[in-house]
Amino acid sequence: MQSGTPAKDVLVKEGTARALSRLLQHLRLTRVRDVKATGPTTISTLLQRPKIEHATFLTLPGELRNQIYRHVLFPYTMVLFIVKLSCRDLARSIFKPGVFRVSRQIRQESRSLLLSTKEFRFFNAPDMASFLASIGLEGREQIGNIALVLCESRLVQDKWYSLSEALNTDLFARYLADTSSLKRFHLSLQPKVALKFAKGDDDFVTTMKRAVEAGGKLKMTWCTITMDTEDEHCVEELVGILGAENREGGDCRPCPHD
């Protein structure tokens, strides 16, 4: 043993002829120049095992983790259709992939990417309200693309207006006001049906449009669904309410006949 080795560090634990033999073997292989370069070598120092840092998924760069999330979260589906939604349905469908059950941080990251990159398409307003309520404030702040489809096939004649009353329009507007990351909100509607709830300052569509465009950075786009022959007069009224510049799919004029 070198004279520079403190006596108090000469410790042999529980015994161990094998450990001591391994230590002596190591001392024999230690070169003098290495000892001079690193300082005095003690038995306690040599007995310490080097700490090995194990790589985990969360040690990967964020960009790589996002690529992995994209491969496991509906990679071939850009539009997620939501009909007759409940919290249980969410857990069994959109939020079913196993990646959501790995850890809290991985769930937050993957959920954020899903909400911000997919289009969520709803076929009635109550389903949309249920979804926005289910994902909470954090989810509403992350969602990036919403499409709402309103047509007669999804409504029961004139019961739509009472349905919108039960929906609590003010609460619905507050949900939309939380969507700070929203990049697109598109409304598809059937002209005759739309006019039933697209008039007045406090109606559902006007309130929704006002909430979507409150920040001044986003315009609600819209288009008409022609179930039968499109009513030109109805479309013209919708253009006046929702704006011709925000309509997708052409203007309100019918195609000229030869």
Torsion (CA) 42, 44, 45, 50 in degrees, nearest 10: 160
Q: Give me the mean pLDDT over the 97-115 stretch.
A: 92
pLDDT per position as a tens digit, 39-76: 555 556 555 656 656 778 888 899 999 999 999 999 89
- Return the H-helix or E-strand segment holding 242: helix 232-242
Q: Which long-range contacts (CB under 8 A, 24 or more apart) does 82-90 make?
A: 82/120, 82/121, 82/122, 82/123, 82/127, 82/128, 82/131, 83/122, 83/123, 83/124, 83/127, 84/127, 85/127, 85/130, 85/131, 85/134, 86/130, 87/134, 90/131, 90/134
Q: What is the pLDDT of residue 240?
A: 82
Q: What is the pLDDT of residue 139?
A: 95
Q: Give me the mean pLDDT over the 250-255 stretch.
A: 45
Q: Give me the mean pLDDT over the 217-241 stretch.
A: 77
pTM over 0.75: no
192 compared with 244, residue with greater pLDDT: 244
Using CA atoms, how far apart are residues 165 and 62, in angstroms rounded to an integer? 44
Answer yes or no: is pLDDT of 158 > 90: no
110 compared with 217, residue with greater pLDDT: 110
Backbone angles phi, psi at 227, to 5 degrees: -80, -40
Is residue 151 within 8 A of residue 189, CB to CB? The reply is yes
SS3 197: coil
Kindly state the DSSP code that residue 247 receives in the 8-state scheme.
Answer: B
Q: Give me the mean pLDDT over the 204-215 stretch.
A: 82
Q: What is the pLDDT of residue 70?
A: 93
Using CA atoms, how far apart are residues 16 and 100, in angstroms rounded to an integer? 47
- Return the H-helix or E-strand segment holding 175: helix 169-177
Answer yes or no: is pLDDT of 258 > 80: no
Answer yes or no: is pLDDT of 33 > 50: no
Q: Is the dihedral of CA 45, 48, 50, 52 positive or negative?
A: negative
Q: What is the pLDDT of residue 18?
A: 58
Helix%, strand%, coil% for the chain, nearest 5: 50, 10, 40
Answer yes or no: is pLDDT of 203 > 50: yes
Answer yes or no: is pLDDT of 153 > 70: no
Q: What is the pLDDT of residue 12?
A: 41
What percent of the chain is modeled with pLDDT above 90?
Answer: 23
Answer yes or no: is pLDDT of 154 > 80: no
Q: Is 4 left (phi over 0), alpha (psi -120 to 50) or beta?
A: alpha
Average pLDDT for the chain: 73
Using CA atoms, how far apart are residues 184 and 125, in angstroms rounded to an integer? 17
Question: How far, in whole angstroms, is CA 35 from its chain's centroid?
Answer: 55
